[in-house]
Amino acid sequence: MKKLLYTVCILLLTASASFAQDDDGDKISGRMTEYIQRRLGLSKAEAERFQPVFFNYYNDLKRTTRENKDDKLVLQQKVTELRVRYRDQFKPIVGDKRSNDVFAYERDFVDEVKKIRMERMQNRNHNLSDKRLGGPLQE
pLDDT of residue 80 exceeding 70: yes
Please name the residues in contact with 28: beta carbons below 8 A apart, sequence gap of 6 or more: 113
Q: Compute CA distances 106 → 12, 15, 33, 58, whole Å.
A: 34, 29, 9, 10
Sorted by where each begins, the domain ranges of the chain are 42-133
Q: What percent of the chain has pLDDT over 70?
A: 73
Greatest Cα pair distance in the chain: 63
- Residue 6 to residue 8: CA distance in whole angstroms: 6
pLDDT band at 32 (very low <50, low <70, confident <90, very high): very high
Q: What is the pLDDT of residue 129?
A: 67
Amino acid sitting at position 63? R
The reported pTM is 0.69
Q: For the residues of 42-74, what is the DSSP string, one character each?
A: --HHHHHHHHHHHHHHHHHHHHHHHHTTT-HHH
Q: Is there a contact between 100 and 88 (Cβ–Cβ < 8 Å)?
A: no
Whole-angstrom distance, CA of residue 57 vs CA of residue 103: 11
What sign for the dihedral angle of Cα 40, 42, 48, 53? negative
Per-residue pLDDT reduced to its tens digit, 89-115: 999 999 999 999 999 999 999 999 999
